[in-house]
Amino acid sequence: MCGIVGVISPNPVNQLIYDALLLLQHRGQDAAGIVTMQGNKCFMHKARGMVRDVFRTRNMRALPGSIGLGQVRYPTAGNAYNEEEAQPFYVNAPFGLVLVHNGNLTNAQSLKTELFDVDRRHINTESDSEVLLNVLAHELEMVARDLPLTPAEVFKAVAAVHKRIKGSYAVIALIAGHGLLAFRDPYGIRPLCFGQAADGEFMVASESVALEGTGHQLVRDVAPGEALFIDMKGQMTSQQCAENPTLNPCMFEFVYLARPDSVMDGISVYQARLNMGETLAQRLISTMPPSDIDVVIPIPESSRPSAMQLAHRIGKPYREGFVKNRYVGRTFIMPGQGARKKSVRQKLNAIGLEFKNRNVLLVDDSIVRGTTSKEIVQMAREAGARKVYLASAAPPVRYRNVYGIDMPTSSELVAHNRSIEEIRQFIGADALIYQDVDAMKRVVAALQPALKGFEASCFDGNYITGDVTAEDFAKMEAQRLSQGDEEDGPARSRLALQSRQE
């Protein structure tokens, strides 16, 4: 998961891209980068850290130009600690090409070999985004050799890219002296939309909130397999470049990743979470008597809409029982489980008044490793709760995700090869209620009749690109386990902690 943005404007774009990245900060906090272009020359600054820390006044002054890209990084491939893997990525031929990417390529390793042996291109990092950039560069070079680069040639190159790469990808690229290119994978897994301002300025971004928060009117989402090309004069053309595109947006975007005020593929993220709360309430009613519950309390932040709707549906009071300290260092960079547990208590504090002598229902957006849930249940007991029930607005996370969401190894997923009762015992709750997979898909799909399916592999084990094998998973897990303690923090605990502590 990353946040990307691209702008082409009659005015300088450095501040605009900075503002858009702040609105996308929830999509990645490990690194940030901006590249701008003036004439045919690129200006770039990127570093590890949050947007507000990476860019100072001197950095912003060194980013002139009226066309540019930005990215906030959340690493799901490559090395989380290598500053060289922060985006944007640049390659000088053909033309001068700069790219930002959100997603994960499932055939990156074979492509890397192919690029070296056949295309004669060298990859200098472990990032799959650099692989994608070089595939695009090679295909642009093939179609534009001895020809002027027209939108038709650009679309031919994107069509060739679709045929070579597998996985999920939303991409924005700058072609020096020519314009801005954006395209989305044929399954539409990762989000991408575009909008326009009153002066004709175009913005392409991961979420609609980046457009609306910077004064742009959302035009529409980029369709699966579609490419947009906006030339230096601000003229946009688009074309479908994939042979059999189908829209299968990532369900985890609606569960957890996206901001609630975004609209993705025609679906309000906030309304999707309300609907999940409705079906979760139905599930709860069929599992236990609501009369046993005194109060419904969300685990901040993503679970709030679902918790509110559930409380309304079962006729119980909704209360804020946890307060976040936003100024404590991030939990996921701390090595060792003991340090993480300590930091959970530093970042979340229970309001005893809401727990004392009550049967409380805690609602979370999802349960991944289960260690944080276990700690929060214990916090509720120590705050005086008689009984602590836990409900998850998402179904059990039983499988790894390979499309751009960083999941632990299968053995570390609390729901992997465990029954609901075994998960309940591990977490220590008096009752555990999970969302139903089919019900979740149904109520979110109801908000967009044109939608035929979702990428929900971490819940249902269905990998829609059809190219992921058991051998691939074995390699991923071996690589993950070999990375050691240093990378254990950001790689393995982010999903379980970030949503309620950022």
**Could you tell me if 451 and 395 are in contact, meaning their C-beta atoms sit under 8 angstroms apart?**
no
Reading the block at residue 167, the tokens are: 């996985």
Kindly tell me the number of DSSP H helices and DSSP E strands found in the chain.
Answer: 19, 21
Amino acid at 74: Y
Distance from chain centroid for Cα 68: 21
C-alpha closest to that of 206 among 220, 194, 188, 224: 194
Q: Mention every residue, 6+ apart, whose C-beta is less than 8 A from residue 269.
A: 253, 254, 258, 259, 260, 261, 262, 263
DSSP 466: S
Please give the torsion angle defined by the CA atoms of residues 221, 224, 230 and 235, in that order, rounded to the nearest 10 degrees.
-70
- Report angle CA 376, 378, 381 to the nearest 5 degrees: 115
Q: What's the CA gap between 235 and 8, in Å, rounded? A: 10
C-alpha closest to that of 73 among 111, 36, 115, 128: 128
C-alpha closest to that of 272 among 256, 248, 296: 256
DSSP 247: -
Q: Is 199 exposed, middle or buried (0-12, 13-18, 19+ CB in 10 A)?
A: exposed
Amino acid at 128: D
DSSP 77: S
Q: How far apart are the first and last CA of the chain?
A: 15
- Assess whether the previous peptide bond of 301 is cis (omega < 30° from 0): yes
Active site residue 241: no
Q: Which residues of 336-361 are buried (b: 16+ CB within 10 A; e: fewer)?
A: eeeebbebbeebbebeeebbeebbbb
Catalytic residue among 2, 42, 241, 458: 2
> Which residues form the catalytic set?
2
